[in-house]
Amino acid sequence: MTKIGEFYQSADWKSEKHVPVIECPDTVKANENFQVTVSLGKEVAHPNTTEHHIRFIQLFFKPEGEKFIAQVGNFEFSAHGESAAGANEGSVHTHHAVTATLKINKPGILVAASLCNIHGLWENARSIALA
């Protein structure tokens, strides 16, 4: 049986434009708000055109010692320059970057996933500790 995890790709975000980059503090205080930014194309720009774009970024948190992962957010990008005048003629393009504010009470792992309409699913993860 095929599982969805088999379709996720990963690489070093410094050389691969599809890998989500997770930016946040390495250590946070328990139960205090902090920001996490997830973007694509930080070192190698990803196109944002009608023909080639990022459809979504998802952010999850896996608390240390717990079995299940929690979804922090699902962020869809719906404007890629489409227009009745033609591809890339539209007046708006959503940029593939998001910032979420959250708080945690256990250390764990942030996991980000993204979907490119041409190159499929990509993932990255980052540990976060408590002070």
Please pick, among 46, 53, 80, 96, the residue that the annotation labels catalytic: 46
- Burial class, 114, CB count within 10 angstroms (exposed 0-12 / middle 13-18 / buried 19+): buried
24 is catalytic: no
80 is catalytic: no
Q: How far apart are CA 125 and CA 31, in angstroms?
A: 21
Question: Which of 6, 18, 51, 53 is an active site residue?
Answer: 18
Q: Among this protein's residues, is 116 annotated catalytic?
A: yes
Our answer to whether residue 18 is catalytic in this structure is yes
Active-site annotation holder among 17, 53, 80, 96: 17
Q: Is 32 a catalytic residue?
A: no
Catalytic residue among 42, 62, 93, 119: 119
- Residue 11 CB contacts under 8 Å (≥ 6 apart), including other chains: 18, 19, 122
The full length of the chain comes to 131
Task: Please tell me which residue in 14, 32, 43, 52 is annotated as part of the active site.
Answer: 52
- Closest by CA position to 20, among listed 32, 33, 37: 37
Given 16, 53, 80, 123, which residue is catalytic? 16
Task: Give the Cα separation of 40 and 13 in Å (integer).
Answer: 8
Task: Note if 62 is an active site residue.
Answer: no
119 is catalytic: yes
Q: Report the catalytic residues.
A: 16-18, 46, 52, 116, 119
